[in-house]
Chains A and B, each alone.
Chain A
Amino acid sequence: MKFTTQLAVGTALSLLASAALAYDADWKRGRVYYRSVCTSCHAVQPVGTINPSSKTKAEWAAYLKADKHAKGKDTVKQYVSKAYRASIKSGNKAAEKFATVPDQELLDDVAAFLTKGAKDGDAPASCN
């Protein structure tokens, strides 16, 4: 139950909470989205890699709760939104595949993957 709680802390507060309560996050879908969308920019170039295992569970939870991307220039959840997916789907298969997934579900999925892959998570993950 630990990580579900953290999910709630990390994400539910910032978004509509109704779906999150019943939704059973799919870390595998989060993994695919993280690896092909987040990692497409967070590579060595142009902005440096960020592995799930580069933060602890608590750090990820705080990061998602703050919802500040690029030091506050924009939000994290924007990059998981349907609008963002629609904007990149011509060049990104994961965005295309998950085009219709509700924002909150996908954010939960990514959060579940990050929590699981965090430095102190159940399966610390790096991306290669």
Chain B
Amino acid sequence: MSERIYVFKRFERFWHWSQAGLIMFLMLTAFDIHGTYTIFGFEKAVAYHTIAAWSLIGLWVFAIFWHFTTGEWKQYIPTTEKVVAMANYYLFGIFRNAPHPFRLTQLRKHNPLQRLAYLAILICVGPLIWVTGVLYLFYDQWAAWGLGNLSLEWVANGHIAGAFMMLAFLIAHVYLTTAGHTPMAHIKAMITGWEEVD
């Protein structure tokens, strides 16, 4: 018998999907700016990328506020418990139709690997992109901010490195959403809020 758990609240779902949309648009414009392909062209791509970046920052302000007021931030505290079991599951168990080692609850909606991955994004890739991105935007203010010696090349390359990492994360993330107890289970949960649990 399966039961249904309400894991993703309304704001959380709104946050997730608008963030997903913005990040994908940022990716699209990013590699346009980078010269990988031309959709909007450098000039427009920069303008759109900037608007999307500010929108995402705005969204994050709300999300951070929400996480702290609801205590949901605790969902991202890393744990070593069952990390090995999770890794084993993804590497072997999943192919043998083994049971999922993690049983999610409202208080623990991310499995241990998810926690680690999201935390890594949150404290490594995120800051790398945001810090370099904001510096890039305010290139003309560096001297006024006392950052006159900063190298644009390093800032730019940091931003580009972050973009590649985000793209890799995005691919893995999208794939792993199909690794629920049915391929669509996680995705449905993120749309409706309800996840079916064995």
Touching chains A and B, CB distance < 8 Å: no
Q: Which residues of B are in contact with A by a Cβ distance under 8 Å?
A: none
